[in-house]
Amino acid sequence: MLKNKSGFVGIGAYAGNQVLPFYKTGYPCLFVNTATTDLDSLTEVDDQYKYQIPGGEGCNKDRIKSRELFRKDIDNIINEVKEKLPGIEYLFVVASLGGGSGAGSVMPMKRVAMNDLDIKACIVITVLPNTKTESIQALINSYETLAELEALEEPGTMFILDNDKNNNKMKINEIFFCHLDALLTLDCNSALGNIDDAEVEQMLCSRGVSIISKLGKDKSDIQNLISTFHNNVYAPLEDDKVIKYIGLANSGTGHSIRMEDVYEEVGIPLDTYIQYEAKYTLCVLSGLSLPYKKMSEIKEIIDSNKDTIKRNLTAQNTNRLSKSVGFFDDIVPEKKSTEKKKSDRDLLF
């Protein structure tokens, strides 16, 4: 299993909540933020595993500010990772796509980590904003941040969660924790076949997107498995059937799940890793395309609101009130007489 080789760095408020269950179950973790208030809210985390990037009390969805603060403090952050997460081979960097602290730092964090740390892969865990309730700025950040991540060539897959899938964000975090923890603790000694650490590593190191499905023994059949490819907490799959690896740990001997049916649904991979007699059914689809259709929908929302946003911003820079209402301009004040007023004594003469 890879649990003892894996560590987590959470950047920003969302990441604090997502990384917390991993911390509580013994994974080495570091919580990074620009805001002390967010770090202070993590009351179950020992202070030594919290790190505030100096110079800011939050970034308010400002990716430029976040990146500049990160750039100035990158050496200290990397030293914290080395100290708090010693000996790891797989670094999971967690950050929201739509936020500030995380969205501005996640791309350079992955690049610097692969360059400065002795690790095999840097995996990104992130989440898309709810398109119905979150701001246009959050949508803009998510589009720009994902475009940056797509351009990276460093090894490491992406898990992209989607807040549109469930109004309860904490539930999304909880489900994903169960999925990833099951993968990192996968351990089985079946005579029929096993997925070894090298094969899990292959899936984690691949570029593109990955999703994980998990089913109990009583629901481990092909219909339920295919349903989990679409009804889940992840960003929607593309229809292009681009895929590199599939890992399938069967809870039984595999008779209820035919790989031909899986291939027909998601595409034919370069390689497939199969395990039998596991405690539950676990399936990993790796090397998938990014959620381009979903991102196009986000861009359409941004574009449809562009004129309104521009008008609102312009309105704040335009003086529409005249300096004077001119209410008294047509009233001519009575001129005072310059003649010296006679005193009471003058009136006597």
Cβ atoms of residues 306 and 253 within 8 Å: no
Q: What one-character DSSP code corresponds to residue 5?
A: G
Q: Are strands 245-249 and 281-288 parallel, antiparallel or unpaired?
A: antiparallel
**Least reliable range by pLDDT among 81-85, 89-93, 340-344:** 340-344
What type of residue is 142? S
Cβ atoms of 36 and 42 closer than 8 Å = no
Q: Residue 345's pLDDT band (boundaries 50, 70, 90)?
A: very low
Q: Is the pLDDT at 338 greater than 70, yes or no?
A: no
What does the block give as tokens for 106? 């996640």
- Distance CA(94)–CA(127), nearest Å, equals 9
**pLDDT above 50: residue 349:** no
pLDDT tens profile 118-133: 999 999 999 999 999 9
**pLDDT for the residue 347:** 44
- Compute the CA torsion angle 18, 287, 242, 253 (nearest 10 deg): -90
pLDDT band at 253 (very low <50, low <70, confident <90, very high): confident
Phi, psi of 92 (to 5 degrees): -100, 115
Whole-angstrom distance, CA of residue 244 vs CA of residue 208: 9
- Quick one: tokens of 216? 């109990």
User: Is the pLDDT reported for residue 204 higher than 80?
Assistant: yes
Which pLDDT score is estimated for 336?
Answer: 63
Measured distance CA(127)–CA(130) in Å, rounded: 9
pTM, entire model? 0.87
Going along the chain from its start, the domains and CATH numbers come out as: 1-154 (3.40.50.1440)
For 55-77, the pLDDT digits (tens) are 777 777 888 888 889 899 999 99
Residue 326 confidence (pLDDT) above 80: no
Calculate mean pLDDT across residues 210-224: 93
Residue 17's H or E segment, with its range, is helix 13-24
The predicted-structure confidence for 123-168, as pLDDT tens digits, reads as follows 999 999 999 999 999 999 999 999 999 999 999 999 999 999 998 9
Query: If we measure between CA atoms, which residue out of 181, 264, 273, 170 comes closest to residue 225?
Result: 264
Q: What is the mean pLDDT of residues 75-101?
A: 93
The token duo for 43 is 């009351």
Number of neighbours of residue 116 by Cβ within 10 angstroms: 14
Query: What pLDDT sits at residue 315?
Result: 75
283-306: b (≥16 Cβ within 10 Å) or e: bbbbbbbbbeebbeebeeebeeee
